[in-house]
Amino acid sequence: MADAAREAAARLIAAGQAHLVAHAQGLGAGGPAFLAAAAAWPWEALSTAAQATAPARLELRPPRGLTWRRQVGEGGLRARLARLGLGLLAHGRVATLLLAGGQGTRLGHAGPKGTVELGPDPGRTLYRVHAERVLAARRRHARPLPAFVLVSPSTEAETRAAYAEAGDYGLRTPPPRILVQGVLPCLDREGRALLAGPGRLATAPDGHGGAFEALARAGVLEELVAQGVDVLTTLQVDNPLARPFDPVLLGWMVERRAQVVTKVVRRRDPAEPVGLLVRDVRGRHHVVEYSEVDPEAAAPLPYGSIAVHAFSTRWLLEQWAAGTRLPLHRALKTVEALGPDGRPAPVEGVKLERFLFDLFPHAERVEFHEVPREWEFAPIKTASGPDSLVRARLMVEAEVRRWHRERGLGEPEAPALRPLELDGAEPHDGPAPGAA
């Protein structure tokens, strides 16, 4: 065994991964390369995170701030915020990132979740829905408004194919830029690495928090700052009501000089699986994962995150340059891995991921913006139930009808319901720049 391979083997044994060294011995000529790649992972940190079972010990306090209900009736605040946000859009100082790394497995869909058809007509996928929102905003504000799509290695090829086949859904100037998030090894509950096959570690995408590293390593943050783009919004592909360029959300950034603004809704019940908006002992707002908080402590917290955020691009770049990195979180999942007999089989394992909202505590000012659930939050998580595809279709249809009524456009015909013929700007947002 060469010196480099011996050093790699020693590091793995010291980190409790001796089984990987034994596995490498059966790979023949491929053994040294496997050892080198495996030894490059920070196994101590990964193993510690995989075995951390205690819920977060936080002093959870309800947030403070203006809710949506107060904004609507409080001296034209909503209209003023919208004007500020429209100013950012009119000067092209906003970009958006669609988080689309997930598969549609729980929906019974083979492929990226973004290729799920929302309808009503064939081909109206979630990717198309979100792209058309961006296209409508570009037309309304006559600005390029850069758009990015974050995918995982497992969804990259199909996503690129879907965008290519659809002509980038009309987003040609500039076209959407696809970024690929990283992966992390899957482990067993004792913190030992799982194998997907001979010479291959079992891995999984590193969570929506992987967007931070993907943006930085691809040079996107530097590019946006250099181009004068002040704000980057992020949203999840499985929420067809999410608005990438909401003037009111953007207005909060200007009004409060915040580094982060996030959207929340009133939780429908104490067990709803959404991130929880809390206020820490310093008085700062941030989000904690619902599964990591004791249910009794979480019950009185009123707000849940809908994973729509706005970040200062300059602040994100400063955080990366300062060495800010997001912590690891564990999730118990079924993992396809090699068993003792050397054959692949489903095993109970641990997947590790990072959360984008773990950036919040690093910010001097985080603001929250409460929005009506029925207007902006139609998550598609399961095949049936309150967060299903069927329910989301009904919510989108109801929202389109509301937009038509409030603009005096009459009632649309059901077969022609296309939510993004309109960009979703609220009547309070005022006319588009330059409009009569």
Ordered DSSP codes for 49-115: HHT--SPP----B---S--HHHHHHSTTHHHHHHHHHHHHHHTT-EEEEEE---B-GGGT-SSBGGG
Cα separation of 216 and 222, whole Å? Answer: 8
Q: Which of 140-154, 210-224, 366-380 has the lowest mean pLDDT?
A: 366-380
In a domain? residue 47: no
Domain identity same for 101 and 15: no
Q: Which two tokens stand for residue 266?
A: 């009133």
Residue 432 has pLDDT above 90, yes or no: no
Domain identity same for 35 and 120: no
pTM for the model: 0.91
CA triple 106-112-117, angle to 5 deg: 80
Cα separation of 130 and 136, whole Å? Answer: 10
In a domain? residue 138: yes
pLDDT in tens, 215-234: 999 999 999 999 999 999 99
Domain identity same for 223 and 117: yes
β-pairing, 195-197 vs 200-201, is antiparallel
Domain identity same for 14 and 112: no
Q: What is the CA radius of gyration of the chain?
A: 23
The pLDDT-based confidence of 430 (bands split at 50, 70, 90) is very low
What is the three-class DSSP state of 157? Answer: helix
Domain identity same for 23 and 138: no
Q: Which of 75-79, 193-197, 414-418 has the highest mean pLDDT?
A: 193-197
221 CB neighbour count, 10 Å cutoff: 24
> Among 310, 268, 311, which Cα is nearest to 290's?
268
Residue 68 has pLDDT above 80, yes or no: no
In a domain? residue 237: yes
Domain identity same for 144 and 261: yes
Domain identity same for 15 and 135: no
Domain identity same for 27 and 129: no
Cα separation of 381 and 365, whole Å? Answer: 31
Show contacts of 167-170: CB within 8 Å, 24+ apart.
168/131, 169/127, 169/128, 169/131, 169/132, 169/135, 170/131, 170/132, 170/135
Cα separation of 395 and 75, whole Å? Answer: 30
For the chain, the domain total comes to: 2
* Alpha-helix residue ranges (DSSP H) falling in 272-407: 295-298, 313-321, 373-376, 389-406
Q: Which two tokens stand for residue 312?
A: 């200062």
Q: What percent of the chain has pLDDT over 90?
A: 63
The total number of residues shown for the chain amounts to: 436
Residue 342 has pLDDT above 90, yes or no: no
Cβ pair 285, 367 in contact under 8 A: yes
In a domain? residue 232: yes
Q: Which two tokens stand for residue 206?
A: 């590193």
Q: Which of 22-36, 70-84, 104-118, 158-172 has the lowest mean pLDDT?
A: 70-84
Residue 417 has pLDDT above 70, yes or no: no
Give me the DSSP letters along 353-364. E--GGGGGGG-S
Which domain does 28 fall in, by range? 1-40
| CATH number of the domain to which 389 belongs | 3.90.550.10
Domain identity same for 185 and 313: yes
pLDDT in tens, 158-183: 999 999 999 999 998 899 999 999 99
In a domain? residue 281: no
Domain identity same for 101 and 187: yes
In a domain? residue 352: no
Residue 422 has pLDDT above 50, yes or no: no
| Mean per-residue pLDDT over the chain, rounded | 87
Domain identity same for 184 and 97: yes
Domain identity same for 15 and 73: no
Omega before residue 174 within 30° of 0, cis = yes
In a domain? residue 222: yes
In a domain? residue 389: yes
The pLDDT-based confidence of 104 (bands split at 50, 70, 90) is confident
Q: Which residue has the higher pLDDT, 223 or 403?
A: 223
